[in-house]
Amino acid sequence: MLIRVFFWGMLISFLGSLPMGTLNVTAMQISIQETVSRALMFSCGVLLIEMIYVRLSLIAIDWIRKQVKWMQAMQWVTLLIVVALAVGSFMAAANSDPQAKNVVLENNLNRFLLGMMMSAVNPVQIPFWFGWSTILFTKGVLSPRVKVLNAYIVGVGLGTFTSHLIFIYGGKIAAGSIHNSDAYLNWIIGGVFSLTACIHLFKILRGKNAFKKLEEDGG
């Protein structure tokens, strides 16, 4: 039972974290432009917050439904961060200094804390995990037992971390085989962040996002 729950949490988290996005691409950028150990610290900060959000989605859904307006406001904060990452990456790519980094990474902030902060302002994962957890409860995979929920949450954390490892080490290997890789990387990452910002803005303006559905489900 516990192994099954652990596996489902890990699988959902792993597949959900594979598409290129703000957090995994940032982890890759840190591994290439700084060190792998710092990128791993960043990812640990990310998964810690994700595990907390998953826990909240399991035990405090009524409270979460009352915070929909706050989470919608946080979406705009997330959008500003993604735009800053895109602009910073393009500026770093145009910089004559080959070691130039975007403005979000150009600081001495502990990478574990940076991962926590960037993950914390991305509350869209709350309705994502609430949806999946509801399905697993309905299918009888999840139960309210503490051991079962803990196994699920540990699986979620490991799934996110494993997907980040692909970006961290894959990006490091790819960058090592490309001449002037930092400049190319900044252009590519700037493009990824720009696309991410456009998609994120579209979801906000469309007005039929996961937060709206979460609020309706609680009504």
**How far is 22 from 85, CA to CA, in rounded Å?**
8
Both tokens assigned to 157: 């954390």
CB 126 within 8 A of CB 56: yes
Q: What is the pLDDT of residue 113?
A: 94
How wide is the angle at C-alpha 94 spanned by C-alphas 89 and 97, nearest 5°?
95
Could you tell me which residue, 87 or 48, shows the higher pLDDT? 48
Report which of 175, 53, 58 is spatially closest to residue 126, judged by C-alpha positions.
Answer: 53
27-62 per-position pLDDT tens digit: 988 888 888 999 999 999 999 999 988 887 777 655
142-156 per-position pLDDT tens digit: 887 889 989 999 999
CB 118 within 8 A of CB 46: yes
Percent of the chain with pLDDT over 90: 25
- Among 71-85, 126-140, 145-159, 191-205, where is mean pLDDT lowest? 71-85
**How far is 22 from 187, CA to CA, in rounded Å?**
15
**pLDDT, mean over the chain:** 78
CB 17 within 8 A of CB 159: yes
Q: What is the pLDDT of residue 68?
A: 59
**How far is 41 from 168, CA to CA, in rounded Å?**
11
Q: What is the pLDDT of residue 168?
A: 93
**How far is 28 from 42, CA to CA, in rounded Å?**
10
Percent of the chain with pLDDT over 70: 77
Per-residue pLDDT, averaged over 113-133, amounts to: 80
Per-residue pLDDT, averaged over 98-124, amounts to: 77
pLDDT bin (cut points 50, 70, 90) of residue 169 is: very high
Q: What's this model's pTM, rounded to 2 decimal places?
A: 0.73
Report which of 137, 160, 134 is spatially closest to residue 214, judged by C-alpha positions.
Answer: 134
pLDDT bin (cut points 50, 70, 90) of residue 71 is: low
Domain ranges of the chain: 2-218
With b for 16 or more beta-carbon neighbours within 10 A and e for fewer, the 83-93 pattern comes to bebbbbbbebb
Q: What is the pLDDT of residue 152?
A: 93
